[in-house]
Structure 1
């Protein structure tokens, strides 16, 4: 690192130090905090998603002593894993780094770098939960009715209804076990928050996954007609 880079890094640390002091004094409230944490989450999600999709997240986890058995992750689920890691990393960043005063200028690590490292530390638990969801709950059966899932309602003969039900069953068969469980719980009247507690997801993540699963179910019959 040349002198100009060193000066730039030092300036960034000083700015981060001023921000952190302000955040701690304000109790992590106010417009400056709101703008900062939204920007941090967006930037962090971009970085963490790239790490997960490229597989670099596994090597970084290994360097931290958390070795994971890497397996292929579908692109959409990789983005969801990244989102969960960023959410849990942010909790660590907020509670331990800022409020717990674990972060300091003297450590020489910029805030964004500290935050990304917190997300890396959170990833192993997020990944293991994903593996459990992906390979567990094989005995979960979907309820027979599709009405609460806003599926196609057939107004015709009983034979038409049987055919439509078969098409719907085929569409559900293409969903992942995770998506099936989400739709099952939602159909049983669980709220997004309750499903999130059961599956260790944020309510927003639950809402997004249910929406994508519904779209997948609706599109399949349309594509096969």
Structure 2
């Protein structure tokens, strides 16, 4: 490493150390913490999503002794897996790295890099839950139409209604199977907490996925009209 690079790395570690000390003293609260954790989550999500989509996440996990059987993952499912891994990695990062004082300047690892590694360590459990859900979904019947879930009935002609129905069907089928199941359970009256228990997600993750699925379906439906 060149001397200039070494100096920059040392300065970054020093800054990280000051920042962490402030966060520990404040109990992870305050405007500075709010800004930092939003930026960190955004950074982590971008990195982890790329790792999952490229398949590099599996080799990263293997280097940590956590070997996984890689399956084909759609782009939307990759984003959802990354989101869950970042959420759980952030908990690990806060509880152990910051409050538990496992991170320190002496270890020589930048704070952002430590966070990404925390997300990598969280990924195996997230991935195994996803595999279990994908297997369990086979026992849930899909609805034939997205219209029964969320379609707004038009007051136009029968021909317009057919177009609306076709657009709704296409929008529903364009969603990942996992997203369609969540919408079905939600429409059947299950609460976020109940769906979380069935799918082994957190209620917050369920809420976010349902919101993204509805948005994706609406956008696809609008494009197909």
Cα 1:79–1:31 shift into 2, 3 Å = same
Cα 1:216–1:113 shift into 2, 3 Å = closer
Give the Å deviation of 1:170.
7.9
Aligned positions of 1:46-195 closer than 5 A: 46-142=46-142, 149-153=149-153, 175-195=175-195
- Structure 1 unaligned segments of length 5 or more: list them: none
Match in the other structure for 2:23: 23
Give the Å deviation of 1:196.
3.4
Give the Å deviation of 1:185.
1.7
Contact 2:93-2:115 within 8 A present in 1 as well: yes
**CA distance in structure 1 between the aligned counterparts of 2:25 and 2:14, rounded to whole angstroms:** 17
- The number of aligned residues is 224
**CA distance in structure 2 between the aligned counterparts of 1:106 and 1:126, rounded to whole angstroms:** 30
Find the residue that maps to 2:138 and give its secondary structure. coil
Cα 1:100–1:197 shift into 2, 3 Å = farther
Moved more, 106-115 or 195-204: 195-204
**CA distance in structure 2 between the aligned counterparts of 1:19 and 1:179, rounded to whole angstroms:** 39
RMSD, matched Cα: 3.3
Instruction: Give deviations 1:81-119, integer Å, cap 9, x for gaps.
Output: 111111110000001100111111111111001000000
**CA distance in structure 2 between the aligned counterparts of 1:144 and 1:71, rounded to whole angstroms:** 27
Match in the other structure for 1:11: 11
Instruction: Give deviations 1:161-220, integer Å, cap 9, x for gaps.
Output: 9xx989977875665442232012211223335433442435554344334544666688
TM-score, structure 2 normalization: 0.82
Cα 1:28–1:214 shift into 2, 3 Å = closer
Find the residue that maps to 2:189 and give its secondary structure. coil
Find the residue that maps to 2:139 and give its secondary structure. coil
**CA distance in structure 2 between the aligned counterparts of 1:11 and 1:219, rounded to whole angstroms:** 46
Contact 1:138-1:177 within 8 A present in 2 as well: no
Moved more, 135-144 or 53-62: 135-144
Cα 1:191–1:69 shift into 2, 3 Å = same
TM-score, structure 1 normalization: 0.82
**CA distance in structure 1 between the aligned counterparts of 2:99 and 2:212, rounded to whole angstroms:** 36
**CA distance in structure 2 between the aligned counterparts of 1:135 and 1:194, rounded to whole angstroms:** 19
